[in-house]
Structure 1
Amino acid sequence: MLELLICSLLTVLPDFLFRRFVQGKRLGKEINFFSVWYELRWGITACAVLTISLITAIFYYHPATTSVASYFRTVTILPETGGRVAEVLVENNQKVEAGDILFRLDDSSQQAAVETASKRIAEIEASLAVAGAELAAAEAGIEQANAALAQAQDDLDRNLELRERGSAAVREAEIERLQNLVARREGELGAAEAGKASVEENIGVLIPAQRASARAALEQAEVELAKTVVVAGVSGRVEQFALQAGDYVNPILRPAGILVPTEFVERDRFVAGFGQLTAGVIKPGMFAEMGCLSKPFTVIPMVVVEVQDVIPSGQVRPSDNLRDPQDNRRPGTLTVFMEPLYEGQANDIPPGSNCVANAYTSNHDLLDDPDLGFGRWLFLHAVDTVGLVHALLLRIQMLLLPVQTLVFAGGH
């Protein structure tokens, strides 16, 4: 409407003044409701063409969007294991610090597993003491076997010496018996030494391995027990937290609530979605203005800091079907990141607020070029000048925003 009024002052009004004062035609006589379309045809046609051209230039070189928001991060409150809630230690909307306990799950089975693993370690420690006694017994058995072997060997040596001297008191049967006795004593000694080696193997290898395995089982049981205590990973405020003792929570199907971190991600950075037609106009460093529903009557100067080099509608995810371009429901927007021109101007805007924004093309540097032609110079001046119309429209929109929202939109 504002563009139409401005263009009519340059087209329809001069045409009417010419008809009225040069041709002498009067309103209500020669110029009436039925003849105005013919009498002022040149002014009306020029007004329509100029208005359409002006609106096109304004929205192309000074694009606008109603899709502006400041995104923030949320953390889903989830246990690492499913279970029934035994104790809740925080309330909804409560501020918590990183490491604070939020709630506990029933840990009876985990406690039993820890107790079982502890008893297993104690059992293995006891078996180590028993193995020490068995080692002492094996060493004593070796000494006994050595003594018995030495005695049998002495008896055999004595009888063999007597036989060599030709003594009639020595019998072959006795020598054979002593030889068999020595062989048996040697076998008993070998068995005693093998028994000692077995006990030493148990003490040095088997029991330490069993103890390490039992300690690993205890650590695993303690880790499972720790999973029943859910703590805050970051500092923030607990939201949508209606958990009560006896409720069942699951890391996949049943979250407990949401934690909104105190430090928001990119709190002073706003993300705007402009039409794809503006991809060749919007550049980093471009000035912009923004107004938010949560802060009416205020226009915040902004600057474009980054333009995303991809458009979300072209995103492809692997699937078993080939993607057909005609299945795109709507064209994606050009994602633009903006920040306040002056620090702190957007601090009182709650993250997630809906905002509108205008971006302005500035040709100041090009206009200073001495080699710039007159036609180009005039065009660039016109482009920069019509940006004032868009800035005025934004201020009118922010001025009428409360009325439009509270009265005509039913207070939403």
Structure 2
Amino acid sequence: MLELMICSLVTILPDYLYRRYRQGKRFGKEITFFSVWYELRWGITGCLMLTIGLITMIFYFHPSTTSAAIYFRTVPILPEGSGRVAEVNVGFTADVKKGDVLFRLDSSKQDAALETAKRKIAEVEASLISARTDIAKADAQIGEARASHQQAKDELEVKTELQRRNPGIVPQRDIEKLQVLVDQRQAGIDVATAARESSLLRVSTLLPAERASAEAAQAQAQVDVDKTYVRAGVDGRVEQFLVRTGDVVNQLMRPAGVLIPDGAGRRSVQAGFGQIEAQVMKPGMVAEATCISKPWTIIPLVVTSVQDFIAAGQFRTGELLIDPQNLQRPGSILVFLEPLYKGGLEGVTPGSACIVNAYTSNHDIISDPKTGALKGVALHAVDATGLVHALLLRIQALLLPIKTLVLSGH
């Protein structure tokens, strides 16, 4: 309607003035309700054509969309395992900090496994003390065996010397018995030494390995115990937390609630523009928005990113061939917009629906000396029509609460 009124000022109005004051025709006489079309046919035709062209130019170079919202990320609250809830530390909704315990599962089984691992470590420590005692015992046995060996060796040497000096004074049988005794005592030394080496091996290698395994089992058991405590992964606010003591939860069931991180939905607006505007939407474009949760307010924005893919065209590999006819909706171009000024989204509830206008600016092209005069005038006209769209957005912002509260029928 606004475009039609503007276009009529340069088409129908001059046509009427020409016929009224140049041709002398009067409204209500020659120009009647029935003769309007014939008398003002050139003005009406020009007005309609100019209106259609103006609307096309405005909506193409200054795109608008009502498919805009302030999306925010949520974190589902789920345990890493499954079990029965033993303790709940937050209510239906609450502010939490990173690391706060939200609820705890029953940990009887995990506690028993942890206690078993601790007992195993104590058992290994006791075995280590016993092995050190065995080393001391083996040292004593080696000393005893060496003393006995030395005694038998000395006696053998004495009798051997006597036999050498006075052959026949010592029976050969006695010397052979002493030799056997010396060998026997040497074997005792070897046995005691082997026992000591075995104890040393247990102390230096076997028992430390068993202790490391037991400590690893304890660490694993401690991890299992810690998994029974479901904590907040980030600072934020818990919403719709319905889990209560006695409930059985697991990862296959619906989440216990959602955690909304701090700052979620406070940084940017996401809007979907038509595919025909793919060549117009560029990062750096100035935009404006009005959101239903903050009526009668225009929020200055700037386009920070334009998604290069249209979600409607994505597919997953399956057993069926793709039929483009099944693509019911053409999809839109996802655009990310951030406030032009700090705190621009304050007071806007995350998730709020918004109306967004983006404006094409050709200032750099117009300022370029290489740009011709005719092209510069055309680009000036394109930029100037953004004022019409800005005015339309403000009218929408003015009427949005009335439309929502009065005319929606609720």
- Per the normalisation by structure 2, the TM-score is 0.89
**Aligned-pair distance for 1:195?**
0.8
State the AA in 1 paired with 2:356: A
Cα distance in structure 1, aligned partners of 2:170 and 2:214: 63
Task: Give 2:291's aligned residue.
Answer: 292
For 2:132, the equivalent position in structure 1 comes to 132
Moved more, 92-101 or 338-347: 338-347
Cα pair distance change 1:192/1:368, threshold 3 Å: closer
Note the alpha carbon deviations across 1:293-344, whole angstroms, 9 max, x for none.
1111222222333434444445576777786766655434333332333332
Residue type matched to 1:138 in 2?
A
The residue aligned with 1:12 is: 12
Q: What is the alpha-carbon distance in structure 2 between the residues aligned to residue 135 and residue 375 of structure 1?
A: 104
1:116 maps onto 2:116 in alignment: yes
Kindly state the Cα deviation for residue 44 of structure 1 after the two structures are TM-superposed.
Answer: 2.9
Amino acid at match of 2:401: P
Distance 1:172 1:371 in 2: 129
- C-alpha contact 1:284 1:305 (8 A) present in aligned 2: yes
- CA separation in 1, counterparts of 2:369 and 2:175? 131
Q: Deviations over 1:102-124 (max 9, x none)?
A: 11110111111111111111111
SS at 1:244 equivalent? coil
After alignment, is 393-402 or 147-156 more displaced?
147-156
Q: CA deviation at 1:236?
A: 1.6
Amino acid at match of 1:78: L
Partner of 1:227: 227
C-alpha distance in structure 1 between counterparts of 2:190 and 2:155, whole Å: 20
Q: d(CA) in 1 for partners of 2:320 and 2:158?
A: 98
- CA distance in 2 between partners of 1:162 and 1:371 (Å): 129
Q: Which moved more, 1:359-368 or 1:256-265?
A: 359-368
| Secondary structure of residue in 2 paired with 1:390 | helix
Alignment of 1:382-401 (within 5 A): 382-401=381-400
Provide the C-alpha distance between the structure 2 equivalents of 1:125 and 1:372, rounded to a whole number of angstroms.
88
Q: Distance in 2 between matches of 1:370 and 1:235?
A: 54
Query: Aligned-pair distance for 1:402?
Result: 1.7
Cα displacement (A) at 1:148: 2.2
Asked whether the equivalents of residues 276 and 333 of structure 1 are also in contact (C-alpha less than 8 Å), the reply is: yes
Secondary structure, in 3 states, of the residue corresponding to 2:385? helix
| Structure 2 counterpart of 1:192 | 192
**SS state at 1:81 partner:** coil
Q: Report Cα offsets for 1:88-145 as digits up to 9, x if no partner.
A: 0110111122222211110111111111111111111211222222222212221222
| Counterpart residue identity of residue 351, structure 1 | P
CA separation of 1:170 and 1:241: change in aligned 2, threshold 3 A: same
Deviation at 1:277, TM superposition (A): 2.3
- Measured after TM superposition, the shift of residue 186 of structure 1 is 1.5
Please tell me whether residue 350 in structure 1 is matched to residue 349 in structure 2.
yes
Residue 50 (str. 1) matches residue 55 (str. 2): no
CA–CA distance in 2 between the matches of 1:221 and 1:251? 20
**Does the CA contact (< 8 Å) of 1:268 and 1:347 recur in 2?**
no
Cross-structure match for 1:181: 181
2:398, 2:305 → 1: CA distance? 29
What secondary structure is seen at the aligned counterpart in 1 of 2:278? helix
Secondary structure in 2 matching 1:263: coil
Tell me the distance in 2 between the aligned counterparts of 1:16 and 1:156. 150
| Equivalent residue number for residue 271 of structure 1 | 270
Residues 169-211 of structure 1, C-alpha deviations (whole Å, 9 max, x = no match): 4323333222222222211211111111111111222112212
TM-score of the superposition, structure 1-length normalised?
Answer: 0.89
In structure 1, distance between residues paired with 2:77 and 2:224:
18
Which residue of 1 is the match for residue 3 of structure 2? 3
SS at match of 2:348: coil
Contact 1:3–1:51 (CA under 8 A) maintained in structure 2:
yes
Closer/same/farther in 2, CA of residues 358 and 173 from structure 1, 3 Å limit: same
Kept after mapping to 2: 8 A contact 1:58/1:383? yes
1:87, distance to aligned residue in structure 2 (A): 0.4
Identity fraction in percent: 55
Amino acid in the other structure paired with 2:84: R
Distance of 2:367 and 2:124 partners within structure 1:
89
| Structure 1 residues 268 and 205: CA distance shift in structure 2, 3 A | closer
Provide the C-alpha distance between the structure 1 equivalents of 2:132 and 2:363, rounded to a whole number of angstroms.
Answer: 93
Whichever residue aligns with residue 205 of structure 1, its letter is T
